[in-house]
Amino acid sequence: MRFPIIRALAAAILVHLCVPHRAGAEIKSLKIDGTKILVNGKPTRLWGVRVAGAAGSEQYTAQLLESLEYYRSKGINALVVYYQGSSGQTWRVFSPDGRTFADAGIRDRMRRIIASAAAADMVVIVGLFVPRKMGV
């Protein structure tokens, strides 16, 4: 498979497609057809940056938001962000039963990231957590 990251994240991600709300710019569908990513039925190449822990603190979020214009100028049109950290950092985001947010700050920062990406015509792939090896 040419896009192994898509299958690896499929079980644990929510996909938020974000574009400004203006005529003709609304994303109505995202599909994977073999090795092609289709947005509104048209083949699309996603060029992304993994910013896994960007919602983890106000400082991380601010750094990402300040970088969006630069990223877009280089052709980047996708971000990968995780609610529950990255491989180097983790924090408790959800309640033990998984029904509510234990940290509303991360939820609110994620909303800001998604809204800012929308203004920059970027797709945001949001993961719930970073899988770990058993026993680690």
Give the pLDDT score at 128: 84
Q: What's the chain's average pLDDT? A: 77
With respect to residue 23, please indicate whether it lies within any of the assigned structural domains.
Answer: no
Average pLDDT over residues 68-89: 87
Q: What is the CA radius of gyration of the chain?
A: 15
Give the pLDDT score at 61: 96
- The pairing of strands 36-39 and 30-33 is antiparallel
With respect to residue 124, please indicate whether it lies within any of the assigned structural domains.
Answer: yes
Number of other residues whose CB lies within 10 A of the CB of residue 92: 12
With respect to residue 78, please indicate whether it lies within any of the assigned structural domains.
Answer: yes
With respect to residue 40, please indicate whether it lies within any of the assigned structural domains.
Answer: no
Average pLDDT over residues 105-109: 92
Domain count, the chain: 1
124 pLDDT more than 60: yes
With respect to residue 81, please indicate whether it lies within any of the assigned structural domains.
Answer: yes
What residue numbers bound the domain in which 67 lies? 4-16+46-129
Total-model pTM: 0.70
Give the pLDDT score at 71: 96
20 pLDDT more than 60: no
With respect to residue 96, please indicate whether it lies within any of the assigned structural domains.
Answer: yes
With respect to residue 26, please indicate whether it lies within any of the assigned structural domains.
Answer: no
Give the pLDDT score at 74: 95
With respect to residue 21, please indicate whether it lies within any of the assigned structural domains.
Answer: no
Give the pLDDT score at 27: 60
12 pLDDT more than 50: no
